[in-house]
Amino acid sequence: MPHTTPIQAPAFPSRLPGVGTTIFTVMSALAAETGAVNLGQGFPDFGCDPKLTSLVNDAMREGLNQYPPMSGVAPLRAAISGKIERLYGHRYDAEREITVTAGGTQAIFTAVLCCAGPGDEVIVLDPCYDCYVPAIKMAGARAVRVPLTPGTFRPDFGRIAAALTPRTRLLISNTPHNPGGAVWSSADMRALQDMLASTAVLLLSDEVYEHMVYDGARHESVARYPGLAARAFIISSFGKTYHVTGWKIGYVAAPAALTDELRKVHQFNVFTVNTPMQHGIARYLQDPAPYLNLSAFYTERRERLRAALARTRLRLLPCQGTYFQCAAYDGLSIAERDLNEADFCLWLTREIGVAAVPLSAFYGNAFDQKIIRFCFAKRNETLDEAARRLARL
């Protein structure tokens, strides 16, 4: 047998040298390996409305299976535009101002890439969703991380204003907020609007949890604030709203001038998003009940998890929106409360049999507040089993 040396790929410098396996992947793998109840990663463990799958199947059977228009199929863009206008009072032109994307993640990546580049700064508010900073880095821009108020995750406009420079191109906001569960008030939105009024800073408003707000609060979409809407890419995701995170379908609503630039990148990034799901969702959107009832649907699950956690020595943090509940473990016995958040989550998975994620994973500097995040987008039986196990805490 001749000896052959495997041919190596040429070495090249990583474009994202700091990125490795995320704690979400580690925790999910550990949960699977140990049989822990996985309240870590944010996805529902229940199915979507069978009506929605039927509508997608119908579209496939009708032969709607070829490339759709680059910006999305017309009925879906019209349905999205109608929904935004009815809910938030701002009319986006379906032809020129709505773009269907492969989920929120691709929407965010595309929006960042189309406006930020070398020499630009993009402000993110820590703790923040983990795809923002890699997108900024891939654009060649610099991420400027400004902390939200620790513990409450409310915006600190003094700190945000202090971070603005002539190089600031974009600010990324997120309400309802993952991981903190905070919901910005109309006073917050007005403060943001006032702060940006004299600047040329664009806004990326991540509103993927727009239909999950509790206790009578309302979602303050940027679309409600003309001074913000004029400079904003609004992003949402049907994965969250319709319990289909694996479908990866969402959209961007933005003024025509912004959308023109967004579509230049979108066109050569994914070009189009799968056709039958676009038609299925367009038809399903005709009935507003599923998204209007979502807050009530999740309120029940939120209460179930909160009641379970309230029976432990974990300290509940407020949850005004999203399907995430944060809790602090600073009241546990010394050995456990001395663990950092990542180690505490490993301990919780192995010893208690429930997986959660550390908040430090959402910060640039691994800031440790002894806070972990649970996801309550789960069946009652899943939440009850988690409750039974957590009762030992």
Q: Which of 28, 38, 99, 105 binds ligand PMP (CB under 6 A)?
A: 105
353 with 159: CB under 8 angstroms?
no
Q: In the Cβ-directed half-sphere of 125, how many Cα atoms lie within 13 Å?
A: 30
**Total binding residues toward ligand PMP, as defined by CB under 6 A:** 14
What are the tokens at 114?
A: 């189309």
β-bridge mates for residue 37, sequence order: 354
Span of 25-33, 85-93, 243-251, 259-267 interacting with ligand PMP by CB under 6 A:
243-251
Residue 176: asked if its preceding bond is cis (omega within 30°), the reply is yes
Closest C-alpha among 80, 372, 131 to residue 254? 80
56 with 276: CB under 8 angstroms?
yes
Which residue, 239 or 358, has its beta carbon nearer to ligand PMP? Answer: 239
391 with 353: CB under 8 angstroms?
no
Shortest distance (Å) from residue 78 CB to ligand PMP: 21
Shortest distance (Å) from residue 100 CB to ligand PMP: 12
Span of 7-15, 80-88, 99-107, 375-383 interacting with ligand PMP by CB under 6 A:
99-107
If binding is defined by CB under 6 A, does position 44 make contact with ligand PMP? Answer: no
Which residue, 42 or 353, has its beta carbon nearer to ligand PMP? Answer: 42
CA distances, 386 to each of 22, 371, 381 (Å): 23, 18, 9
What are the tokens at 228?
A: 């913000």
Contacts with 295 (C-beta within 8 Å, 6 or more apart), sequence order: 211, 212, 213, 214
If binding is defined by CB under 6 A, does position 72 make contact with ligand PMP? Answer: no
Span of 98-106, 182-190, 257-265, 381-389 interacting with ligand PMP by CB under 6 A:
98-106
If binding is defined by CB under 6 A, does position 245 make contact with ligand PMP? Answer: yes
Judging by DSSP bridges, how do beta strands 324-328 and 371-375 pair with one another? Answer: antiparallel
* Total Cβ atoms within 10 A of residue 272: 18
Shortest distance (Å) from residue 248 CB to ligand PMP: 6
If binding is defined by CB under 6 A, does position 28 make contact with ligand PMP? Answer: no
Which residue, 250 or 353, has its beta carbon nearer to ligand PMP? Answer: 250
If binding is defined by CB under 6 A, does position 155 make contact with ligand PMP? Answer: no
Shortest distance (Å) from residue 133 CB to ligand PMP: 13
If binding is defined by CB under 6 A, does position 180 make contact with ligand PMP? Answer: no
If binding is defined by CB under 6 A, does position 239 make contact with ligand PMP? Answer: yes
Span of 237-245, 252-260, 305-313, 336-344 interacting with ligand PMP by CB under 6 A:
237-245
Span of 47-55, 56-64, 100-108, 342-350 interacting with ligand PMP by CB under 6 A:
100-108
CA distances, 128 to each of 11, 219, 286, 347, 360 (Å): 32, 19, 33, 24, 10
If binding is defined by CB under 6 A, does position 213 make contact with ligand PMP? Answer: no
Residues within window 276-295 making contact with ligand PMP, judged by CB under 6 A: none
Separation CA 373–CA 324 (nearest Å): 6
Q: Which of 42, 155, 180, 358 binds ligand PMP (CB under 6 A)?
A: 42
Separation CA 251–CA 232 (nearest Å): 13
Which residue, 68 or 127, has its beta carbon nearer to ligand PMP? Answer: 127
Residue with tokens 């899943």: 382
128 with 108: CB under 8 angstroms?
no
If binding is defined by CB under 6 A, does position 205 make contact with ligand PMP? Answer: no
Separation CA 160–CA 272 (nearest Å): 36
Separation CA 77–CA 71 (nearest Å): 8
Which residue, 40 or 42, has its beta carbon nearer to ligand PMP? Answer: 42
Q: Which of 28, 81, 173, 174 binds ligand PMP (CB under 6 A)?
A: 174
Shortest distance (Å) from residue 203 CB to ligand PMP: 15
| Positions that interact with ligand PMP (CB under 6 A) | 42, 103-105, 129, 174, 178, 206, 208, 237, 239, 245, 248, 250
